[in-house]
């Protein structure tokens, strides 16, 4: 089955009826997408809308864009996601997991296409949280590979009743550069593989979900296996689809997630709120510095 990077029907759709990006509440007939988004070079994503808004404000200060640009939610009309734009950076939240991320990725890729943005100049970066494996909580993991909950290095995409495997690929030179920037600003960071699962509890081998189909020994065997044999340093819920869909679209991708706990030590996130808040700032600070260096 062919795996198209772009939908060959899309241009006819735009010409005949226009394309409406339903979840963003904007479209080719109602918005001047080239004018609004033609300059985008970075797309930053993260689960929560408030994290994206914080990042938008941080970038606004870091990049010195003090006048003229307001931080407003451009996707408010869609009612599902929040979108901000700061200079050449687009920020969009994706909520939790692959299905909500897939919707937003389709619409971001179409938006960039309609805006006439050259794919080779776009870098997608996820700023996230995760459970670590064998790293101190608060460590930032910069992914240099991704696997799914069954330890496969392809995202298995259900498409029109068939399973289409798409390779999970991250930009390795960007991963190494992010690590250098982290070292230079004194941020605890490691490179490693990130596992993306579809279930926070069972998919990540937790013992504290509503159901249980395995025991403590199975959990530890699973976590140690992915750590020791696959090089996995953290587990979250989007790395598999994000690395696969960005690669399919021909865009550079990085995934930068802070670890909130060490899953080899437990399942519950019990770190005090104030400390968690500081942890969650870390990917934002690192990526803001990375972008500041890339743009200036």
Hey, what are 50's tokens? 């408030």
Residue 130 vs 139, nearer CB to ligand R2B: 130
47 in contact with ligand R2B (CB under 6 A): yes
The residue nearest ligand URA at its CB is 131
User: Which one of ligand URA, ligand R2B, none interacts with residue 260, CB within 5 to 8 A by kind?
Assistant: ligand URA
- Token look-up 């869909």 returns 245
Is 283 in contact with 138 (CB distance < 8 Å)? no
| Distance from C-alpha of 202 to C-alpha of 205, rounded to nearest angstrom | 5
Paired with 156 in beta bridges are: 165
* Number of residues counted as binding ligand URA (CB under 6 A): 9
Is 284 in contact with 183 (CB distance < 8 Å)? no
237 in contact with ligand R2B (CB under 6 A): yes
Burial class (CB in 10 A: 0-12, 13-18, 19+), 188: middle
Paired with 141 in beta bridges are: 190, 257
> Interaction with ligand R2B in 100-129: which residues (CB under 6 A)?
128-129
47 in contact with ligand URA (CB under 6 A): no
Is 244 in contact with 167 (CB distance < 8 Å)? yes
* Number of residues counted as binding ligand R2B (CB under 6 A): 9
242 in contact with ligand URA (CB under 6 A): no
Q: What distances in angstroms separate CA 72 from CA 79, 98, 103, one per listed residue?
A: 14, 26, 21
Q: Which x/- pattern, by CB under 6 A, does the window 56-95 give for ligand R2B?
A: ----------------------------------------
CA–CA–CA angle 252, 258, 264 (5° rounding): 120
Shortest distance, CB of residue 225 to ligand R2B, whole angstroms? Answer: 20
**18-26, 186-194, 214-222, 231-239 -> range binding ligand R2B (CB under 6 A):** 231-239
> What H or E segment, with its residue span, contains residue 277?
helix 273-295
Sequence-separated (6 or more) residues with CB below 8 Å from residue 153: 145, 146, 147, 167, 168
145 in contact with ligand R2B (CB under 6 A): no
Shortest distance, CB of residue 237 to ligand R2B, whole angstroms? Answer: 4
Is 140 in contact with 191 (CB distance < 8 Å)? no
User: Which one of ligand R2B, ligand URA, none interacts with residue 47, CB within 5 to 8 A by kind?
Assistant: ligand R2B
Residue 114 vs 193, nearer CB to ligand R2B: 193
148 in contact with ligand R2B (CB under 6 A): no
146 in contact with ligand URA (CB under 6 A): no
Nearest CA to 31 out of 20, 23, 41 is that of 20
Shortest distance, CB of residue 235 to ligand URA, whole angstroms? Answer: 6
User: Which one of ligand R2B, ligand URA, none interacts with residue 235, CB within 5 to 8 A by kind?
Assistant: ligand URA
| Distance from C-alpha of 172 to C-alpha of 168, rounded to nearest angstrom | 12
Residue 19 vs 238, nearer CB to ligand R2B: 238
| Binding positions for ligand URA, rule: CB under 6 A | 129-131, 200, 204, 235-237, 260
Name the residues that contact ligand R2B, by CB under 6 A. 47, 96, 128-130, 200, 236-238
């Amino acid at each position: 089955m062919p795996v198209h990077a772009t939908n060959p029907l899309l241009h006819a759709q735009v010409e005949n009826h226009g394309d409406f990006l339903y979840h963003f509440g904007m479209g080719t007939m109602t918005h001047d997408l080239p004018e609004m988004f033609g300059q985008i070079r970075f797309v930053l994503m993260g689960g929560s809308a408030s994290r994206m808004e914080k990042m938008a404000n941080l970038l606004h200060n870091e990049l010195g864009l003090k006048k003229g640009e307001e931080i407003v939610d451009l996707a408010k009309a869609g009612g599902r996601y929040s979108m901000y734009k700061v200079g050449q950076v687009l920020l969009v939240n994706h909520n939790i997991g692959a299905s909500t991320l897939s919707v937003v990725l389709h619409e971001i890729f179409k938006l960039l296409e309609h805006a006439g943005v050259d794919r080779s100049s776009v870098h997608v970066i996820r700023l996230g949280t995760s459970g670590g494996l064998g790293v101190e909580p608060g460590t930032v993991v910069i992914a240099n590979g991704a696997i799914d909950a069954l330890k496969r290095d392809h995202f298995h995409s259900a498409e029109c009743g068939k399973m289409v495997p798409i390779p999970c690929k991250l930009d390795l030179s960007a991963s190494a550069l992010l690590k250098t920037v982290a070292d230079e600003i004194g941020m605890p960071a490691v490179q490693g593989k990130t596992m993306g699962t579809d279930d926070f509890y069972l998919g990540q081998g937790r013992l504290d979900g509503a159901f249980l189909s395995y025991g403590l020994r199975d959990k530890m065997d699973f976590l140690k296996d992915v750590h020791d044999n696959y090089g996995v340093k953290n587990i979250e819920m989007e790395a598999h689809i994000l690395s696969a869909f960005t690669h399919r679209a021909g865009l550079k991708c990085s995934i930068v997630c802070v670890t909130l706990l060490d899953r080899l030590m437990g399942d519950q996130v019990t770190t005090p709120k104030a400390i968690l808040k500081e942890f969650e700032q870390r990917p934002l600070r690192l990526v803001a510095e990375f972008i500041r260096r890339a743009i200036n």
